[in-house]
A and B are shown apart, each in its own frame.
Chain A
Amino acid sequence: NAGVMQNPRHLVRRRGQEARLRCSPMKGHSHVYWYRQLPEEGLKFMVYLQKENIIDESGMPKERFSAEFPKEGPSILRIQQVVRGDSAAYFCASSQRSDGYTFGSGTRLTVV
């Protein structure tokens, strides 16, 4: 039973490019959460999705960031026109019940 799978593990993008981060939740989990960890900071909640629905996006920057969790396939966190300040570790978590979070290993985005 694979855990939460995130890919790629490392992603390097030039300023202005797009970054796509993928998250496959644990089998049977229908809740997906994205978090961002900036250097020297804790994890900051970004968005909570269920299949085909965004439930809470209160932590998402208003521009350039979007997330989806389609009926089929992984959840995608998309960052358009990346800037240096987007460099961070992005973690995805999934759950089936409200207290059963499982985190992936993260994607480390570096913007050069």
Chain B
Amino acid sequence: DQQVKQNSPSLSVQEGRISILNCDYTNSMFDYFLWYKKYPAEGPTFLISISSIKDKNEDGRFTVFLNKSAKHLSLHIVPSQPGDSAVYFCAARSGGGADGLTFGKGTHLIIQP
């Protein structure tokens, strides 16, 4: 049973436009959500996170939106740049402690020039 779902395996966006990556979750105990970016042959790197007490968190070109009632979060990247081409993983955690994260399968974002 997949508790964190990223339904789009890939997404192609033109450089300069907005990239929107979506993530749905089923476990209502999740209280902290994170986005990771991964290049080939490298480990995931932390991008941005959001606590369940918020509905938006912004960091430069990256904004994460959380809709708790819909159990949905999204990552917006604007403007998209070639270096943003990577696999993006949505992850979630419950309990507020240092427990393991539950990851989605990832979305491969391709920025076209």
A: residues with CB less than 8 A from B are: 4, 6, 31, 33, 35, 40-48, 55-56, 58-59, 91, 93, 95, 97-99, 101-106
Q: Are B89 and A48 in contact (CB under 8 A)?
A: no
Name the distance in Å between A74's Cβ and chain B's nearest Cβ. Answer: 16
Interface members, chain B 81-113 (any A CB < 8 Å): 89, 91, 96-106
Q: Are B46 and A59 in contact (CB under 8 A)?
A: no
Q: Are A102 and B46 in contact (CB under 8 A)?
A: yes
Q: Are A105 and B43 in contact (CB under 8 A)?
A: yes
Known: A42-B105, A43-B103, A45-B102. A103 touches B97 (CB 8 A): no
Interface of B is mostly: loop
- The complex places the Cα of A48 from the Cα of B42 at a distance, in Å, of 21
Query: Is B45 positioned at the interface, with any CB of A under 8 Å from its CB?
Result: yes
**Chain A CB within 10 A, most for which of B45, B100, B101, B102:** B100
Instruction: Return chain A residues, CB-CB under 8 Å to B49.
Output: 99
Query: Is B70 positioned at the interface, with any CB of A under 8 Å from its CB?
Result: no
- Can you name 15 extra interface pairs (CB under 8 A) apart from A43-B101, A56-B99? A41-B105, A42-B105, A44-B103, A45-B100, A45-B101, A47-B100, A48-B100, A58-B100, A91-B43, A95-B98, A98-B96, A98-B98, A99-B32, A101-B101, A103-B45
Instruction: Return chain B residues, CB-CB under 8 Å to A103.
Output: 36, 43-45
* Nearest 7 A/B pairs, CB to CB: A103-B43, A45-B100, A42-B105, A98-B98, A42-B103, A43-B103, A105-B43
Q: Are B106 and A42 in contact (CB under 8 A)?
A: yes
Instruction: Return chain B residues, CB-CB under 8 Å to A42.
Output: 4, 6, 89, 103-106
Instruction: Return chain B residues, CB-CB under 8 Å to A35.
Output: 100, 103
Q: Are A33 and B100 in contact (CB under 8 A)?
A: yes
Residue of B nearest to A43 (CB): B103
Instruction: Return chain A residues, CB-CB under 8 Å to B41.
Output: 105-106
- The complex places the Cα of A49 from the Cα of B65 at a distance, in Å, of 31
